[in-house]
């Protein structure tokens, strides 16, 4: 990392890399921090998908509350060990969509680059938790194959950086990647899918916003927050700094049992994310990944919630409720 990565807009306190190292990785430590006693509900929190929670995110959890909507997203529990029919390791057909090492080209016009397998937080419902990142991501030696694929595929007008979380990469790494992409003339739009501005807002450094400002394409950043409580002053500042680069900011969320599966929570999420500068984009039906059945909600209940949102909110605050189905040419709207 370079020394010029100063926090935007004020002075850097702890570098985001150091904050990552200090993230909670043991459930007992996080529970102790929140004043909670493990009552035998917790799995060991290690392999294959260990717990990871930045302190900046844990600070937004309510102490003493097992039902806290942020804690529920990140705490490994015994329920993950349940084997449920219909919940698979690759529920969305990512393996079939693989076009080159580190490239998923599923939908017309846009290709998704798996830039890294790493994330700042490990969401227990994540559909990519069983993805073989070690062999599939596009960083380092593999990035050339990914860029070659995009360069040789003129229908790809939009490149999406995904992962894992692309903002886990150093900014100069991202810069090198976009420099290579800028030589591909058919790219017209650029997109980043990231949860870091929410879970580790100090990742939004001056160097990062400088990079975004200099990009040669109109750019979109899709952040990911599932509950209004994930927003605080530090997230507001990070998103404002991102917005000042001219990047369009959208939010995607996942409909999650016990976390945001009621009208009040969803309404507040949409209003709060807009207040922070992120327009609601997608509300995803849970991808049915092994170990996530306890987060699942019937589609009918999701549709009832969507009807409630439409009755309450301005049209632009209503997200599109979608489900990803392997083999379909777009994320399927649920109506």
Ligand X SMILES: *Cc1c(COP(=O)(O)O)cnc(C)c1O
Question: Can you give the binding site for ligand SF4, defined by CB under 6 A?
Answer: 119, 121-123, 126, 128, 163-165, 195, 224
Partner whose footprint covers residue 97, from ligand X, ligand SF4, none (CB < 5 to 8 Å by kind): ligand X
**CA–CA separation, 208 and 227 (whole Å):** 25
Which residues of the chain form beta strands (DSSP E)?
Answer: 98-100, 103-107, 110-114, 158-162, 189-193, 219-224, 248-254, 279-284, 320-323, 332-333
Residue 114: C-alpha distances to residues 133, 144, 146, 192 (Å)? 8, 13, 9, 11
Partner whose footprint covers residue 123, from ligand SF4, ligand X, none (CB < 5 to 8 Å by kind): ligand SF4
Determine, following the binding rule CB under 6 A, whether residue 331 of this chain makes contact with ligand X: yes
Q: For ligand X, which residue of 42, 160, 168, 212 counts as binding (CB under 6 A)?
A: 160
Shortest Cβ distance from residue 292 to ligand SF4 (Å)?
A: 11
User: Could you tell me which residues come within 8 angstroms of residue 146 by beta carbon, excluding any fewer than 6 positions away?
Assistant: 100, 101, 102, 103, 113, 138
Question: Which C-beta is closer to ligand SF4: that of 123 or that of 238?
Answer: 123
**CA–CA separation, 284 and 280 (whole Å):** 11
Question: Which C-beta is closer to ligand SF4: that of 8 or that of 195?
Answer: 195
Partner whose footprint covers residue 128, from ligand SF4, ligand X, none (CB < 5 to 8 Å by kind): ligand SF4
Question: Which C-beta is closer to ligand X: that of 14 or that of 155?
Answer: 155
Range 101-120, binding ligand X (CB under 6 A): 104, 106-107, 110, 112
208's enclosing H/E stretch is helix 206-214
Shortest Cβ distance from residue 330 to ligand X (Å)?
A: 6
Question: Which C-beta is closer to ligand X: that of 60 or that of 105?
Answer: 105
Q: How many residues does the chain have?
A: 335
Range 46-105, binding ligand X (CB under 6 A): 97, 104
How wide is the angle at C-alpha 113 spanned by C-alphas 108 and 114, nearest 5°? 135
Shortest Cβ distance from residue 321 to ligand X (Å)?
A: 13
Shortest Cβ distance from residue 103 to ligand SF4 (Å)?
A: 17
Shortest Cβ distance from residue 328 to ligand X (Å)?
A: 11
Partner whose footprint covers residue 285, from ligand X, ligand SF4, none (CB < 5 to 8 Å by kind): none
DSSP 112: E
Comparing CA positions, the residue from 279, 212, 276, 272 lying closest to residue 238 is 276
Question: Which C-beta is closer to ligand SF4: that of 119 or that of 293?
Answer: 119
User: Could you tell me which residues come within 8 angstroms of residue 49 by beta carbon, excluding any fewer than 6 positions away?
Assistant: 76, 122, 124, 126, 129, 130, 291
The values of phi and psi at residue 65, to 5°, are -120, 105
Shortest Cβ distance from residue 215 to ligand SF4 (Å)?
A: 22
Determine, following the binding rule CB under 6 A, whether residue 147 of this chain makes contact with ligand X: no
Query: Given the structure tokens 């509300």, which residue do they identify?
Result: 283
Partner whose footprint covers residue 121, from ligand X, ligand SF4, none (CB < 5 to 8 Å by kind): ligand SF4
DSSP 290: T
Q: What number of chain residues touch ligand X (CB under 6 A)?
A: 9
Partner whose footprint covers residue 319, from ligand SF4, ligand X, none (CB < 5 to 8 Å by kind): none
Tokens of 106: 């599923």
What residue ranges bind ligand X (CB under 6 A)?
Answer: 97, 104, 106-107, 110, 112, 160, 330-331
């Amino acid at each position: 990392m370079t020394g010029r990565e100063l926090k935007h807009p004020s002075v850097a306190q702890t570098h985001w890399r150091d904050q990552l190292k200090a993230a909670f990785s043991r459930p007992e430590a996080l529970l102790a921090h929140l004043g909670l006693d493990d009552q035998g509900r917790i799995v060991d929190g290690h392999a294959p998908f260990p717990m990871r929670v930045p302190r900046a995110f844990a600070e937004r959890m309510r102490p003493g509350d097992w039902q806290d909507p942020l804690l529920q997203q990140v705490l490994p529990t015994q329920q993950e060990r349940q084997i449920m029919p219909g919940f698979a390791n690759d529920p969305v057909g990512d393996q079939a969509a693989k076009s080159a090492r580190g490239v998923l080209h599923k939908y017309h016009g846009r290709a998704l680059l798996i830039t890294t397998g790493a994330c700042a937080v490990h969401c227990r419902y994540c559909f990519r938790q069983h993805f073989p990142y070690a062999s599939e991501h596009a960083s380092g030696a593999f990035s050339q194959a990914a860029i070659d694929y995009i360069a040789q595929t003129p229908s790809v007008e939009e490149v999406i950086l995904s992962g894992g979380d692309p903002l886990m990469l150093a900014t100069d790494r991202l810069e090198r990647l976009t420099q290579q992409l800028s030589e591909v003339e058919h790219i017209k739009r650029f997109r980043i899918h990231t949860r870091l501005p929410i879970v580790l807002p100090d990742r939004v450094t001056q160097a990062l916003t400088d990079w975004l400002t200099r990009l040669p394409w109109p750019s979109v950043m899709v952040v990911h927050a599932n509950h209004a409580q994930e927003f605080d002053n530090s997230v507001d500042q990070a998103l404002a700094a991102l917005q000042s680069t001219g990047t369009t900011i959208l939010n995607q969320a996942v409909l999650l049992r016990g976390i945001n599966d009621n009208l009040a929570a969803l309404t507040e999420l949409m209003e709060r994310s807009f207040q922070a500068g992120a327009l609601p984009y997608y509300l995803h039906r849970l991808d049915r990944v092994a170990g996530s059945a306890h987060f699942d909600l019937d589609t009918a209940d999701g549709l009832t919630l969507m009807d409630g949102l439409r009755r309450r909110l301005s049209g632009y605050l209503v997200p599109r409720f979608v489900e990803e189905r392997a083999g379909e040419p777009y994320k399927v709207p649920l109506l």
